[in-house]
Amino acid sequence: MKEDFFKYQAPTTPFAPGLEIDSASGNYITDIAGKKYLDMVAGVSALPLGHCHPKIIAAVKTQLDRYMHVMVYGEYSQQPAVELCKLLASTMPAPLEMTYLVNSGTEAIEASIKLARTVTQRSEIIAMKNCYHGNTLGSLSLMDYEERKAPFRPLLPDVNHIQFNCLPDLNKITERTAAVIMETIQGGAGFIMPDERWFNALREKCTATGSLLILDEIQPGVGRTGTMWHFQQYGIVPDVVVSGKGLAGGLPIGSLTASAAHLNHFKTSPMLGHITTFGGNPVIASAALATLKAVVEDGYMERMKMMELRFRESLLSKNIVQVRGTGLMLAAILPDAKYTAAIVDRCREKGVIFFLLLFEKRAIRITPPYTVTMDEIDHACNILKETIAEFYN
Ligand SMILES: Cc1ncc(COP(=O)(O)O)c(C=O)c1O
């Protein structure tokens, strides 16, 4: 299978390990040789409840027996999508009451850029330096990493950047600005948390200039930081919340939630202002409903702080210079970037899966399923520390 993987499946990097997967269940992945791996990555934050959670499987199976796809997004009233949008509204402050469902995070970002432009009749989008919002042309335009953008230019015009957590940079937001977009924890940049004063000042500046504040919760959202959405820990009400990744428990989804006044623009200005065939797909929506309900009802968010503390204790080591992030969105920062990839590879050989971050090359990604146990946390951290020591001692 590995040979065909490299021969027929288009690659993203020359370094893919090509681990040959047989099955995955709970917090473990099993390869075709029967070797089990403890998963500390959760499909890059896309599996809040781990692999094949019985509640998600049951919801999907029930829906598969009813109907799979009957019509493009937004034409017919299909119970799973309607219920999901209603449930999402109940997790957010007013006036965030209406949700548009799409198929991936980057698509939701694209839709939010279009929404900001049609609502404000302005074109400038301000994004953060070191941001990541996805890889389609619009989302890529938001990035400030020229090396990755240059081969694909020309990209969206009128995108400007400010420094995350920099108060003076807020002056660059003006009445020309359609929207400011930010991750509520900068992921690729190294799990950088927003400073509370800056975040509040940003909200005020957006209100003063009439610019929409779009929060990308694609990675921190769905309970990963101890509240359903990370922005809730800052007492801020954004104009648009974008979700994806873990929202459907391991199936492809994206969403943007805003006020009805804003989202109704897609209906009239122009009509069919944003359309998609599979957005709101009933099978995916059923999986998302089961995921959201389980995250709330099974008490994961209440345990998030405790699990974070266990990681922080277990990661204490002279070779880990910092642990960034919060909840189960953590990054162990190494002294330098020399061995990060080799350490991840070696841990995988030892049966524990960690991963890298896009831009912060000293970081080991730790974003396990919420179902991770204390013993599994200790085991994973011991393997990581022991492996780091092989390279640094
Ligand atoms: C913060 C953030 N925004 C957007 C995206 C893009 O989502 P997708 O890969 O589903 O298009 C990601 C994916 O890694 C992300 O982490």
Predicted confidence (pLDDT) at residue 214 exceeds the cutoff of 90:
yes
Determine the average pLDDT of the residues in 257-286: 97
Task: Tell whether ligand 1 has an atom less than 6 A from the beta carbon of residue 226.
Answer: no
Q: Could you tell me the two tokens for 271?
A: 């009509």
Place of tokens 């090359």: 361
Cβ-contact 219, 45 below 8 angstroms: yes
- Reading the block at residue 39, the tokens are 């998963």
What is the average per-residue pLDDT within 295-314?
98
pLDDT tens column, 76-103: 999 999 999 999 999 999 999 999 999 9
Task: Pick from 12, 136, 245, 367 the residue to mutate for probing ligand 1's pocket: most ligand atoms within 8 Å of its CB.
Answer: 245
Residues in the chain: 393
- Ligand 1 neighbourhood includes 132 CB (under 6 angstroms): yes
In ligand 1, which atom is closest to the CA atom of 183? 1
Please tell me if the CB atom of residue 221 comes closer than 6 angstroms to any atom of ligand 1: no
Contact 122, 176 (CB under 8 A): yes
Measure 245 CA to ligand 1 centroid, in angstroms: 7
Ligand 1 centre to CA of 389 (Å) is: 32
The amino acid present at 15, given as its one-letter code, is F
Take atom 13 of ligand 1 and give the residue whose Cα is closest.
134
148-207 pLDDT per residue, tens: 999 999 999 999 999 999 999 999 999 999 999 999 999 999 999 999 999 999 999 999
Which atom of ligand 1 is the closest one to the Cα of 109? 4
SS3 content of the chain, % helix, strand, coil (to 5): 40, 20, 40
CB 331 within 8 A of CB 366: yes
Q: Which residue puts its alpha carbon closest to atom 8 of ligand 1?
A: 105
Q: Residue ranges of the alpha helices (H) in the chain?
A: 2-8, 42-45, 54-66, 79-90, 105-120, 137-142, 146-149, 196-209, 260-263, 265-268, 282-297, 300-314, 340-349, 374-392
For residue range 315-352, list pLDDT tens digits in order.
999 999 999 999 999 999 999 999 999 999 999 999 99
- pLDDT tens for each residue of 101-149: 999 999 999 999 999 999 999 999 999 999 999 999 999 999 999 999 9
For residue 312, the CA-to-ligand 1 centroid distance in Å is 26
Residue with the nearest Cα to atom 2 of ligand 1? 133
Whether the pLDDT of residue 212 is over 90: the answer is yes
The answer to whether 280 and 73 are in contact (CB under 8 A) is yes
State yes or no: pLDDT of 355 exceeds 90: yes
Count CB neighbours of 320 within 10 A. Answer: 18
All structural domains of the chain = 2-53+300-392 (3.90.1150.10), 55-297 (3.40.640.10)
**Res. 393 pLDDT band, cuts 50 70 90:** confident
How much of the chain, in percent, has pLDDT values that exceed 70?
Answer: 100
